[in-house]
Amino acid sequence: MKLAKEYQFLVIISLFIFAYVLEALVNPLQINLITPYSYLNPQILAKYPFTTAIIAIKSIAIFWTPLFLFSFIQKAYAAKGSIFLVLAGLLQLYSLQEIATGAQIVPLEWSLALSVAGILLLIPTSLFFLQHSFHTMRAKIHSPTPPPIASPQKSTP
């Protein structure tokens, strides 16, 4: 199913607004985590199901945003994959630093959502690199080969 770009934009904005409204209904998350991945502990997930839903909604919106923006660029699969890889790494590093240092620049829910979105961005990263590989192989297989250059022949008397 292909979704028109204007509808994709509306869905992304709606997800951010929906997460914001849901976040207004609950108190900010006040737990000490060692890493963002510590939140994936089943006891913590069971204790904070509503916050987990908010984090999931934000993660989907954050994940979908660069996919939407890069959908305007045709081909350039290696560039897209490289940028997604860097973006995924930066999201992971930011959320790790935010939680490890205890700096509250953004709420904990946003840090966790950035971390999950960074992990999810590795999926299209690998797909873009695969697509680049197949596109390059296809171009090499189907490219016309130039005829061999004939060397000048000497005539014998």
Q: How far apart are CA 93 and CA 113, in angstroms?
A: 13
For residue 58, what pLDDT is reported? 97
pLDDT in tens, 28-65: 888 888 889 999 899 999 999 999 999 999 999 999 99
The candidate with the shortest Cα–Cα distance to 121, out of 82, 94, 95, is 82
Sequence ranges of the domains in the chain = 5-134
| DSSP-assigned states of every residue in 14-76 | HHHHHHHHHHHHSPPP----SSGGGGGSHHHHHH-HHHHHHHHHHHHHHHHHHHHHHTTS-S-
**What pTM, to 2 d.p., does this model score?**
0.82
Q: How far apart are CA 129 and CA 131, in angstroms?
A: 5
